[in-house]
Every structure is written in structure tokens, then in C-alpha cells.
Structure 1
Amino acid sequence: MNDANDTRNRLLNGWQLSKMHTFEMAARHESFALAAEALSISPSAVSHRINLLEEELGFALFVRSHRKVELTQEGKRVYWTLKSSLDSLNQEILDIKNQALSGTLTVYSRPSIAQCWLVPMLGDFTRRYPSIDLTILTGNDYPNMQRTGIDLALYFDDTPPTQQSHHFLMDEAILPVCSPEYAQQHALMTHPNNLRHCTLLHDRQAWSNDSGTDEWFSWARHFEVNLPPSSGIGFDRSDLAIIAAMNHVGVAMGRKRLVQKRLDRGELIAPFGDKMQECHQHYYISTLSGRQWPKIDAFIDWLKCQAG
């Protein structure tokens, strides 16, 4: 029994890794015969190596039938993890060889940061670094950067994720914003207590999955303003609240960095003037520890330049 447990709990070593090449070929072709042809060995040798690997790992990788082989669910998990690791390794080798500002760069961002701040400026980056191919991904989660191939992530929060390197990007402040028409309709100019008759628009995931109306109530406490009993309309993205405000739906709690251009264009106004509260959250950049590639450093430097 102990020997069986030892086998089942054994981690990969060099011997299993050498068999992984055979497994990768067989999984890719879904055929021991085609894998044997690619490896210039016999199909029986492929089968023998796979049998040994399955015995050492403690679970089946393939379901064998008379005419074909198919990956088990466990085999599929191992194959896709192996494929992802090989892709990352190949990219790493290319970057080591090039040591230049070229190749792919995958950036993950909170949707509102991407929509309102990052994406409108990307033309400047591509003009400066035409050999870097950018991919922009968005979401409200904290993805596993190693597993998902993300090189760099942008967040707005006060608690950076652990086991990553962090770079401060910029501070933020919040202030109510709405359309000029909505402000006039509800007599808001310099009269914040008239908010009690308004619809509040807010990002329910401002800095975590349960931020709720925290931004509004933090601002109201700071300036001693009475808010309506209803929590208004919640969104999972700050930019959606801003779009609703631009369309006269209500008053949004805006982040100055993200709404400044719309304030400058007159699409939004800040009806209460200088009643702006500094956030204890800030924008920061996360990277994998130890990954100091020229293209990542170039993007970080460019972001800091744009942040002023």
C-alpha cells in the first residue's frame, strides 16, 4: 500500500519529462502510430513509454480502442498544461535570443481603466514601439499571470495581489459627475443635498467584488451630504456608470483620471465643483517576479509617462 501511495504522490522528474515528449506527440496526433512515425520509433515503443508514464503518474492518460486512442479527462489536463508550458518556454527562448523591443506583450486591465484611460493612448505606444505586438485583455478578477500568459496587469485597489512585483502608477480622486441637462433638471449646481432626489450610479466592483456603494458613501461622509434612501443603479464597471450619466440617467461617482477628458469636452460636468475626495486606493502595475524583459520595462516606463 505504501509503495502505491509513493507512486501516486510522486512528482515529475527528469525521467518522466523525457517520456512527456512521446506523450505530447501521441496526444497531438491522437495516434500512437503517427507519433511513432514522427519520433522515428516503433508504435510498440510509443505504447511502452506511455504505459510506463501512466504507471509512474498513477492515472491513465489515454483510452485505447481497436482503431484509435483518445485522451482521458486527466490526459487532456496534462496535455493542455504541457502545451501551454511549451508555448511559454518557446516565447522565453525567443525573447532571450532577441533581447530587443519586439514580440508579443499581453496586458491585462480592469475594463474601466482600459476603456477610459489606456486604450485611447495606445496609438502613441505603437508608434514608439512598432515591433511589439500588443494584446489587451480585461476583467475584474486577479488571473494567474503565469498560467494565462499575461505579462503585465493594471489594477485599481489598495491591496496588490501577493507573489507578484508591483509598480505604483498613479493616485486617484472621486467626484460626482452628470450631464449638464441632468444637473439643470435637478438643480444640482453647488447644491449637493439635492442629490437626495437623484438616481445614483456606481461601480459595485470599484476595487473588489463587493465594493457596493462604498465610493458614494465615503464621499458623502467626507462632505456631510445626505444621499437618497435608494442605492440607485449599480454596474460592474465604472465606465458603464459614466455612460449612463452621459445619457441623463443619474449622477455617477466618477474617478477623475477616467472622466477628465469627458469633463474637458463638456459631455459631463462636476456640479459640486471642488468637492473631490482623494482615494486611499491607487492604480498600480503588476508583473511576474523576476520577469524583467525590455518590452515589459518599456511598457511600464510608457505608462508612467502617460500618468504624468
Structure 2
Amino acid sequence: MKSLRKQLPSLTALTVFEAASRLSSFTRAAEELGVTQAAVSRQIHLLEKDFGFALFMRLHRKVALTDKGKALSAATSDAFNLIAEAVTDLRKDAPGDELTISATVAFSHFWLMPRISEFSRQYPYINLRILSQDNMPNLQLGEADVAIRFGNGMWPDAHAELLFEDEVFPVCSPKYIGVDGRIKTPADLTSYSLISNETDDPTWTGWNEWLSSFSIVVPKKTLGLRCSFYTEAIYAALNGQGIALGWTHLVEDLLQQGRLVRLTDAAIKPRGAYFVVVPTRQRSKETANLFVNWLQIVLQEPGPQTL
């Protein structure tokens, strides 16, 4: 079998032909390629001489492809596009490439940021961009390369892989509750200020759902500070303003550090879970795959991580 090099005509001539056939003009092809019109005409002439037939019909002030020219045009267009796509994908994975990670504000703040430096130490050539946003980015439009989200695992045009399920339980500052251990059961919580946060996510667990799981009705007078975001609720608890609901993976470091304490052994599992999400209509970046693998390994490590 002959080598491709011997089977193919001049690649320079093919490049010129692709531009001339796509633009239907030798002049415009010359402008795009940064050469003279005469140079374009010469390359086309050499190509036609090599094939032994005409590729263009020279008309008054314009050119048109012959039938054989149209066949070659379709082939070169497909081949050049395929090469361009491959080059684009390879450049995405080149050292120094940017990896955009989207995570909810709470997950980014309490879990991801304290740990992401370890990923950077392992892969120093990857430039990271962290998007902290509760709204799901459009992965198909490239708004992020990978996302970490809480929900039911069903997002359009995206593949979601389960990271972990969670538990929800009451937490507060050690100074707020004191050391007398007055809270023994979930019912005891209603005597204290309960910090809540607003959310549009139906799978998110709030105080009403949590207490209802233990057949407890929440008296309106016990409701305390209401925050816009979960991060604000946790900081309010850290500052001794009441009791908030702690999610295991979000408050584990704060519990380990002694900045928050868990109240009662009572806990419930929320309806949703945390997922890592990647686009489905395009090939994932190799850097995104590295991040997903790293994420899964870290989450499998026992005990709270304080990297």
C-alpha cells in the first residue's frame, strides 16, 4: 500500500484549494491566506495539472467548481474540519489550560476551597477558575467544564455521577448552648432561636421538614434569624446567634475544629444528594476528568479533611 504522502497532492495546494472553493473566489482566498492572487492561481493550476482535470470553471469575474471540484471540496472541507476539531481538543488539554469548576456557594465555601490547593499541588500546570453560584451553569455553552450540584441527579444535556449522600443535624457555637447539655431531644430545639435560610430548591432540607420528621410542629415564635444563603446561616451560628442545620460534608471541618458542635444524635437524610456533572454533547476535557477522579478519591478518604 502506498504511503499517504505519495497518494496525496501538495498539502499547500489543498489548503489553497479549500479556501478558494469555500469562498468561490481566488481573490478572497488570497486575502484570507495572506498571499497574492497569482500565488493562488498557480497552486490551483499545479493541483489541476497533478489530477489531470479542471477543478474550477473560470467565468467572467468569478470561478465555479466543476463536478470533480465539488467532490474534492467536500472531502477537503470534512478533512480540514476534522483536523481543526482534533487540534481544538488537544489544545484544551495542553499544559496551562484553564479548568472552570462550578459549585454551589455553600459547597465551594465550606468544602471545595479548603481542599482545592491539594489538587493544584498535584496538577500545577492546570489553571483553575472557581465559579461559586447556586444556579446551574450551561455546560453545553462552555460556562463551566464541570459542576458540583445538590439535587436529584437529573440535569438536561448533562451526565451526573453521584458523589455522596448527606445527613442533616442541628449545630451551633459552643458558647451559644453552654456546657450544661440542656438539649437532649429534637423537641428541646424549639425553645431556642433556629437559624434558617431561603432556597428555591425543593430537595433542600429546612427546619420545618427536619422537625416534622420527628413529629414536631415548629411554633412560629421559635423561628429565629432568616438568611438569604446557607453560608450566612452557618456564619450566624458561628457567631452565636442560634442553631442552624448542619450538613455533614459542609460543616465537618468546623466540627473538627471545635467552632461548631453537634446537638443530639438525631439526623435525617435529605431527598437529594451531591453530584459531579459534566456535559454530554462534547468530549470532556482531560483536565476535567483529572478533577473528577481527584474528587472521588478525596471523598473516599476516611474522616474530615483539613488540607
TM class by smaller structure: 0.5 to 0.7
**Partner residue of 1:215?**
206
- Higher helix proportion (structure 1 or 2): 1
2:133 pairs with 119, 133, 139, which one? 139
Amino acid at match of 2:227: F
1:284 pairs with 262, 268, 275, which one? 275
**Partner residue of 1:154?**
148
What is the Cα deviation at residue 177 of structure 1? 0.4
The 2-side partners of 1:296 and 1:198 are apart by 44
**Partner residue of 1:56?**
none
C-alpha distance after superposition, 1:48-84 (max 9, x if no partner): xxxxxxxxxxxxxxxxxxxxxxxxxxxxxxxxxxxxx
User: 8 Å contact 1:175–1:270 — kept in the other structure?
Assistant: yes
Name the CA shift for 1:135/1:180 in 2 (closer, same or farther; >3 Å).
Answer: same
What is the Cα deviation at residue 185 of structure 1? 8.9
Name the CA shift for 1:102/1:188 in 2 (closer, same or farther; >3 Å).
Answer: farther
**Partner residue of 2:9?**
none
**Partner residue of 1:105?**
99
Structure 1, unaligned runs of 5 or more: 1-14, 20-35, 42-88
**Partner residue of 1:181?**
175
Q: Which moved more, 1:155-164 or 1:95-104?
A: 95-104
Aligned Cα RMSD in Å? 3.3
Amino acid at match of 2:176: Y
User: 8 Å contact 2:153–2:275 — kept in the other structure?
Assistant: no
User: 8 Å contact 2:236–2:242 — kept in the other structure?
Assistant: yes
The 2-side partners of 1:280 and 1:214 are apart by 8
2:118 is equivalent to residue 124 of structure 1: yes
Matched residues, number: 227
Amino acid at match of 2:136: Y
User: 8 Å contact 1:186–1:197 — kept in the other structure?
Assistant: no
2:157 pairs with 160, 163, 168, which one? 163
Amino acid at match of 1:136: I
- Normalising by structure 2, report the TM-score: 0.65
Q: Which moved more, 1:188-197 or 1:136-145?
A: 188-197
Name the CA shift for 1:107/1:233 in 2 (closer, same or farther; >3 Å).
Answer: same
- 1:51-62 to 2 correspondences below 5 Å: none
Name the CA shift for 1:191/1:168 in 2 (closer, same or farther; >3 Å).
Answer: closer
The 2-side partners of 1:247 and 1:102 are apart by 41
**Partner residue of 2:233?**
241
User: 8 Å contact 2:170–2:263 — kept in the other structure?
Assistant: yes
2:269 is equivalent to residue 294 of structure 1: no
User: 8 Å contact 1:186–1:198 — kept in the other structure?
Assistant: no
C-alpha distance after superposition, 1:84-121 (max 9, x if no partner): xxxxx999735425755651100111000000001100
User: 8 Å contact 1:173–1:255 — kept in the other structure?
Assistant: yes
The 1-side partners of 2:165 and 2:203 are apart by 21
The 2-side partners of 1:127 and 1:91 are apart by 30
User: 8 Å contact 1:173–1:279 — kept in the other structure?
Assistant: yes
User: 8 Å contact 1:153–1:285 — kept in the other structure?
Assistant: yes
User: 8 Å contact 2:140–2:157 — kept in the other structure?
Assistant: no
Amino acid at match of 1:300: V
**Partner residue of 1:26?**
none
Determine which structure has more spread, i.e. the larger CA radius of gyration.
2
C-alpha distance after superposition, 1:207-234 (max 9, x if no partner): xx25598422222122233433154333
